[in-house]
Amino acid sequence: MTPAIEITGLKKTYTTGKNTKMEAVKGVSLTIPQGEFFSLLGPNGAGKTTLISILAGLGVKTEGTVKIHGVSIDENPDLAKSFIGLVPQEFNFSIFEKVLDIILDQAGYYGITRKDALPYAEKILKDLGLWEKKDQQAQALSGGMKRRLMIARALIHKPQILLLDEPTAGVDVELRRSMWDFLRELNASGTTILLTTHYLEEAEQLSRRVAIINNGEIIEEGSVQQLLSKLHFITLHLDTVESITEAIMLLLRGEPLVREDEHVLKLTLKPGATLNEVFRKLSSVGVHIKNVRTTGSMLEEVFIQLIEKKNS
Amino acid sequence: MKSPIIVGYTTMVRKEVVRIFRIWTQTLLPPVITMSLYFVVFGKFIGSQVAPISGFTYIQYIVPGLVMMSIITAAYMNTVSTFYFAKWQRVIDEILVSPMPSWTVIAGFVSGGIIRAFLTGVLVVIVSLFFTHLAIFNFFILFSAAFLTALLFALAGIVNAIYAKSFDAISIVPNFVLTPLTYLGGVFYSIHLLPPFFAKISLLNPILYMVNAFRYGFLGVSDVSIGRCFAVIIAFTLVMLLWTLILFRTGAGLKR
């Protein structure tokens, strides 16, 4: 089957001054099969938005090839664009327009008449909880509603590929989870999704495959499981019943434990190592564990370790 | 079933027309008021003291030029403001991500400018009828001159908006280029009344040809031959069209 997105040797250089240039994307190659839920992770300025902009036709590449459903963006850009729906990072609709008009106008740009687009516009606005706001000007919407409006707008022409650039930035937890459910359903119905996000939990929860991009280069790519297997260590925080004294720490010498607080120990565990040995040792010195916490998502640990490794 | 390109184009035009009427106090009313003042001050108060030009009263002579002036301003201001605002808010991305070909997008924006220019022109003509009697000498020339000029300045508005990096940049051309050229473009006088040197200099002003072609359509008189007028207008329009198409093709000022 033709891949949904096929990127080969993609480069993008910005001219930043008279004689200065900045290479935002440095020869990225990436293949995303149809029906995939793919996440692109990376810190600010890594090149995520630049990459998405080129795919959507908003950016001009310097080098490389990009094919959308087998169609080159150089040879037939208009056809390539017809496969894509874009949810950008920043709000980019007229705040003076009514919600329904924004959706129906977007349908018009894709060659769908207002009359033909209306039933589907009603469906997606209802699915995203915006139907009751259809006659309101966009400026009256809350931040979360504006984000959902951009998703509805991107879907009105039923694209085969949905590109989402940090879609849940600034969205509260409850709404974020409802948007995840919506995206999961959309992906299950066959839409290929490429997501960039800062929320590593988001990528972990939603995607089957992940690529980590840093300084314009893909530094790791694979399934979530494959990436997690690259963890060099796992950090756990153990809340103790007893106070951790210096004497106890002396008894625990040699164990991968560091005192963080009077009642908190940090455990750095190598993949494959078990907790039993550590817990047995803690019991033997009279320390009881009442809670075990992680610092964040497992993927976040991979992310941090990979970026640190690359930078060093 | 309508062609997708036609649907895209009509969507853009509908949006433009809705906008023009939604903010009619900014788009349609100001030129009507300004031109009414011109008719009163220059046409009635001062014009009554001025000798006829080419057999027409002064107010009859200046009305076509003033209508053309409002057409030029309306066509230019519509595209420059709509396009720049769309660029500034990144609303233009809604269109750039769509599969609409560049020429359709240009046609959509330009049509908005032409529609506003024609609405303004018709309103100014109606207002002028309160001050003087007007007859149409040649409707085809009148319409062609108005259409091509509106097209030219609607395109020029897009070019200005693409290059503009701030709101100041979209007012520089209207204030420092368009207004002086229009005032010196034979709106208020025939160049035959000028000393030969200034008459020759005036021939370098493209707006002179637009004003005279339009005046010919109304009154049947022109300072320069009508063929020359259209040759200049068409040449400038083609250059501007090519310029706009190149800017869209390369994405300069539009794409990242």
Residues A53 and A194: their CA atoms lie apart, in Å, by 12
| Section A272-301 average pLDDT | 81
> Among the listed ranges A86-90, A147-151, A226-230, B249-253, which one has the minimum average pLDDT value?
A226-230
> Among the listed ranges A115-129, B38-52, B123-137, which one has the minimum average pLDDT value?
B38-52
Grouping H, G, I as helix, E, B as strand and the rest as coil, residue B195 is coil
Using pLDDT thresholds of 50, 70 and 90, give the confidence band for residue A298.
low
Grouping H, G, I as helix, E, B as strand and the rest as coil, residue B53 is strand
- If one counts every other C-beta atom within 10 angstroms of the C-beta of residue B176, the result is 10
What amino acid occupies position A50?
A: T
Check whether B53 has a pLDDT greater than 70.
Answer: yes
Q: What are phi and psi of A5, to 5 degrees?
A: -135, 130
| Section A242-257 average pLDDT | 88
pLDDT digits (tens, 9 = 90+) for B220-247: 999 999 999 999 999 999 999 999 999 9
pLDDT (0 to 100) of residue A172: 80
Query: Which of the residues A90, A109, A146, A165 would you substitute to probe the B interface, choosing the one with the greatest number of B C-beta atoms within 10 Å?
Result: A109
Residues B158 and B105: their CA atoms lie apart, in Å, by 11
Structure-block tokens of residue B179: 């207004």
Q: Are A91 and A145 in contact (CB under 8 A)?
A: no
- Specify the pairing of strand A264-269 against strand A217-223: unpaired
Structure-block tokens of residue A57: 């036709």
pLDDT digits (tens, 9 = 90+) for A94-119: 999 999 999 999 999 999 999 999 99
| Residue B256 to residue A53, Cβ atoms within 8 A | yes
Q: Which residues of A touch B (CB under 8 A)?
A: 50, 53, 56-60, 78-79, 81-82, 84, 86, 88, 90, 92-95, 105-106, 108-114, 153
Structure-block tokens of residue B55: 């057999």
Using pLDDT thresholds of 50, 70 and 90, give the confidence band for residue A295.
low
DSSP result, chain A: ---SEEEEEEEEEEE-SSS-EEEEEEEEEEEE-TT-EEEEE--TTSSHHHHHHHHHTSS--SEEEEEETTEETTT-HHHHHHTEEEE-SS--S-TTSBHHHHHHHHHHHTT--HHHHHHHHHHHHHHTT-GGGTTSBGGGS-HHHHHHHHHHHHHTT--SEEEEESTTTT--HHHHHHHHHHHHHHHHTT-EEEEEES-HHHHHHH-SEEEEEETTEEEEEEEHHHHHTT-S-EEEEEEESS---HHHHHHTTTSSEEEEETTEEEEEE-TT--SHHHHHHHHHTT--EEEEEESS-HHHHHHHHHHHHHH-
Neighbouring-strand partners of residue A213:
A218
At which residue do the structure tokens 């998703």 appear?
A: A151
| Residue B99 to residue A60, Cβ atoms within 8 A | no
pLDDT digits (tens, 9 = 90+) for B176-211: 888 899 989 999 999 998 999 999 999 999 999 999
What strands, in cross-sheet order, belong to the sheet with A192-197?
A84-87, A161-165, A192-197, A37-41, A209-214, A217-223
Residues A174 and A162: their CA atoms lie apart, in Å, by 22
Q: Are A13 and A22 in contact (CB under 8 A)?
A: yes
Check whether A136 has a pLDDT greater than 90.
Answer: yes
Q: Which residues of A touch B94 (CB under 8 A)?
A: 92-93, 105-106, 109, 153
pLDDT digits (tens, 9 = 90+) for B207-216: 999 999 999 9
Using pLDDT thresholds of 50, 70 and 90, give the confidence band for residue A16.
confident
pLDDT (0 to 100) of residue B56: 92
**Whole-prediction pTM:** 0.84
Check whether A296 has a pLDDT greater than 90.
Answer: no
Using pLDDT thresholds of 50, 70 and 90, give the confidence band for residue B11.
very high
Q: Are B147 and B114 in contact (CB under 8 A)?
A: yes
Best-predicted range by mean pLDDT among A161-170, A220-229, A249-258, B96-105? B96-105
Check whether B219 has a pLDDT greater than 90.
Answer: yes
Q: Which residues of B touch A111 (CB under 8 A)?
A: 2-5, 7-8, 99
Using pLDDT thresholds of 50, 70 and 90, give the confidence band for residue B104.
very high
First to last CA, chain B: 35
pLDDT (0 to 100) of residue A312: 65
Check whether A223 has a pLDDT greater than 80.
Answer: yes
Which of B3, B101, B255 lies closest to A59 in CB terms? B255
